[in-house]
Amino acid sequence: MTLPTLLVLDADPPPRLGRLTGRVRVEHADASTLAGRLPSADVLLVWDFTSHAVREAWPGEGPRPRWVHTASAGVDHLLCPELAASDTVVTNARGVFDQPIAEYVAALVLAFAKDLPRTLELQRERTWRHRESRRLAGTRACVVGSGPIGRAIVRTLDALGVTTALVGRAAGDGVHGPEDLDRLLARADWVVAAAPLTDGTRGMFDAHRFAVMQPSAYFVNVGRGQLVVEEALVRALRERVIAGAALDVFASEPLPGDSPLWEEPGLVVSPHMSGDTVGWRDELGAQFVELFELWEAGRPLVNVVDKQRGYVPGH
């Protein structure tokens, strides 16, 4: 029996695929070798989910894998017109990052409400300065992105007594449509971006959207860096259009050392880590193995991405 070929776009550390030993022939590629190895692969595992190599290599000559899985929630780094138009099935890591990201958002919201960044600054200065902080219960949040991550954020903030509104691509059960976004932003104390990157969401948080927000509002982005017009956010912070912000994702990653965002007052910068808890790579590997076993058995895959929309439909 001829074993199927699994091609892994590598990142360090590599995935643990021990359960698949003897059931698949595993090959490895990096950005420089991916294009040459795609034609011989039945399945592609995009373990290096920061790479754009798939988007660049896919349009080449020869057969292409029947299934591509990315070890990430977002798929914008790999989708290209040729892949979107093909019969190849694309799946993602939906479900692994939902609660960790929700907890990270809650931590940021609590830190802002309790003025923890300023407390740490004053401690470093050895300055005793009593202040008052905000009560979180009773405040309002607008969460943009109605997928599993957005819904987990809503549940977690609800548990802290925050009144939440969820905004998605279209209105539905418990979800507001885009037409309500400005109205909800104007009432929110906390605005959380957790949407996928699509043509409809790119640059959605621009000067207009920041101007709509309250001067006391805080903005958090755990979705995609390109959701935000970063220059507009910098102006909003410097002109005190909003009170503060936290970015875990950026238009360019890693964030260049000379970026003004590093030292922008009122901005918390973290290195795309909101979903990465201890053991997260093992979870991603185990998830892929479970999906592979479905594929191997000829059963329908879960987490199938709508390649035209750019995300897994369902909410």
- Residues assigned a catalytic role: 224, 253, 272
Burial state string for 60-77 with b = 16 or more CB within 10 A and e = fewer than 16:
eeeebbebbbbbbbbbbb
Distance, CA of 274 to CA of 272 (rounded, Å): 6
CB 105 within 8 A of CB 142: no
CB 210 within 8 A of CB 219: yes
User: Cα 149–155–156 angle (5° rounding)?
Assistant: 90
CB 13 within 8 A of CB 281: yes
Cis omega (within 30 of 0) on the bond before 215? no
**In the structure, how many helices (H) and strands (E) does the chain have?**
10, 11
